[in-house]
A and B are shown apart, each in its own frame.
Chain A
Amino acid sequence: MEITIKIFRYDPEKDTRGHYETYVVEGDENDRVLDVLELVKGKTDGSLAFRRSCAHGVCGSDAMRINGRNHLACKTLVRDVGANITVEPVLGLKVKKDLVVDMDPFFDNYKKMLPYLINESPLPADGRERLQSPEDRARFDESTKCILCAACTTSCPSYWANGNYYGPAAIVTAHRFIFDSRDEGASERLHILSETDGTVRCHTAYNCTEACPRDIKITKAIGEVKMAMVTGKLD
């Protein structure tokens, strides 16, 4: 089948602003949008820039706006979006070239959440791992699925308006550790999230939940963090 793909293009060495270029390629309805981009880059225009790595929805490299909404290009089939496709970079992050955005601010916010286990207590008597019940593990199971693709953060209107907002992905990361029964850094993280650029900026637009390629209920996770801040309870 014939696929028409309109791609946002921006070359920092030549352009002062972005523009769109349209390509027509021969593909299949079961192709992924990433395959179509590869076809364009491989056969028509080698200067096209986009990120990709695993191409199987695990690495989170290829988040982009496809037909006006954030998706992973490697998880989006042509048959689901139609033969006329528009591909643009995600919003709220600086565009470096074509579909490649500057992810540094995103990962800076991620690092602010102290994304590692904090536990200063001595190891258990047997000196081995800190045990956790399946119920305690299930408490934060969903937020462990995050692949840091930034599809949620860059779909958030609060983040578009204010780049200092930590964003949904960072809060999901915080949620993953705050509700981990082995972690002892919850109060520190809740303190960070209670700042002006923390959870208070979430206005429940649900764009993050809709955009998440891992189906994480992000707004719920943010709601739980908000509730923990108010009640001081982690159950």
Chain B
Amino acid sequence: MGLNRNVSLMTALRYKGQGPFLTYILHRIGGLGMAIFITVHLLASFLSGKGGHFINAIYENWVFQIFIFFCVLFHAINGLRITILDLFPKLIPYHRQAITIEWVAFLAIYGFAVFTIIRTGLGG
């Protein structure tokens, strides 16, 4: 007798793992976002008429571009950090510093990208 061991997604997300766990979650959101983007993108290329135009209109929307750029950039930079720490385990004790550097690099590049997307989006 006893409660089963299953951990729901919401329970898992509520775990207070702090900074490293946040990057772990965002990494998966980024990966999922890219997978959906590529799937629908492929679908759009096979669709003709209104369906294809509708999907293309979403892609061309600057709000969507901000989202997908977040997914791609965060996934790439976080993946790079994970790869470096995997290759050099002696650096792992400095993972918090590595995450700080990652956020600085991400925010600098992403901030510039968002600024450019918004300026282009609003400027036409």
Please encode chain A, from 82 to 98, with 1 for each CB lying within 8 Å of some chain B CB and 0 for all others.
00000000011111110
Q: Is A69 among interface residues, defined by CB-CB distance under 8 A?
A: yes
Taking a contact as CB atoms under 8 Å apart, the answer to whether B89 and A205 are in contact is: no
State how many residues of chain A have any CB contact under 8 Å with chain B. Answer: 38
Chain A residues contacting B85 (CB-CB under 8 Å) are: 204, 223
User: Considering only CB atoms, which chain B residue lies closest to A88 in the complex?
Assistant: B11
Report the Cα distance A157→B9, complex, angstroms: 10
State how many residues of chain B have any CB contact under 8 Å with chain A. Answer: 24
User: Considering only CB atoms, which chain B residue lies closest to A11 in the complex?
Assistant: B1
Q: Is B67 among interface residues, defined by CB-CB distance under 8 A?
A: no
Taking a contact as CB atoms under 8 Å apart, the answer to whether A94 and B3 are in contact is: yes
Q: Is A75 among interface residues, defined by CB-CB distance under 8 A?
A: no
Chain A residues contacting B64 (CB-CB under 8 Å) are: none
Residues A207 and B3 in contact in the complex (CB < 8 Å), given A219-B95, A220-B93? no
Q: List 17 A-B contacts (CB under 8 A).
A: A13-B1, A68-B15, A68-B16, A69-B15, A91-B7, A157-B15, A160-B7, A160-B12, A205-B17, A206-B95, A217-B92, A219-B95, A220-B90, A223-B89, A226-B86, A226-B89, A227-B89
Interface residues of B (CB under 8 A from A): 1-5, 7, 11-12, 14-18, 20-21, 24, 82, 85-86, 89-90, 92-93, 95
Could you tell me the distance in whole angstroms from the C-beta of B16 to the nearest C-beta in chain A?
4
Chain A residues contacting B4 (CB-CB under 8 Å) are: 94
Q: Is A163 among interface residues, defined by CB-CB distance under 8 A?
A: yes
Give 7 nearest A-B pairs by CB, closest first: A223-B89, A206-B20, A160-B7, A220-B92, A12-B1, A205-B24, A68-B16
